[in-house]
Amino acid sequence: MAVSDLVTNMEWYRAFYWTAKAGSLSGAAEHLYITQPAVTHAIKQLESQLGGQLFFRTSKGVKLTAEGAMLYQHIEQAFNLIHAGERRLAERHALTEGEMRIGAGDTLCKHYLLPRMRQFHEQYPGVQFQVTNRTSRETVKLLKEGAIDFGIVNLPLEDPKLLIQESMIVQDCFVVSGTYRKWVAAGQPLSLDWEELSHYELLLLEKGSATRAYIDKAAAANDVALTPSMELGSLDLLSEFAQTGFGIACVVRNFAQDLLERGELVELAIAPPIPPRRIGIATLKDVPLSIAAKAFIALL
Q: Does domain 3-93 have CATH number 1.10.10.10?
A: yes
pLDDT tens profile 219-260: 999 999 999 999 998 999 999 999 998 999 999 999 999 999
98-169+279-299 homologous superfamily: Periplasmic binding protein-like II (3.40.190.10)
What pLDDT is attached to residue 90? 81
What is the pLDDT, as a whole number, of residue 3?
46
Q: Which helix (H) or strand (E) holds 15?
A: helix 10-22
What pLDDT, on the 0 to 100 scale, is given for residue 190?
A: 73
Q: Give the per-residue pLDDT at 8.
A: 66
Residue 2: pLDDT over 80:
no
Is there a shared CATH topology between the 3-93 domain and the 172-275 domain? no
Residue 42's pLDDT is 94
DSSP 34: S
Q: Does domain 172-275 have CATH number 3.40.50.300?
A: no
Which pLDDT does position 183 carry in this prediction? 56
Does the structure show a pLDDT above 90 at 161? yes
Which pLDDT belongs to residue 6? 52
HEC readout, 237-283:
HHHHHHHHCCCEEEEEHHHHHHHHHCCCEEEEEEECCCCCEEEEEEE
pLDDT at 184: 52
Residue 88's SS3 state is helix
Q: What is the pLDDT of residue 4?
A: 45
In angstroms, what is the C-alpha Rg of the chain? 32
Mean of pLDDT values over 106-114: 93
Domain boundaries defined on the chain: 3-93, 98-169+279-299, 172-275
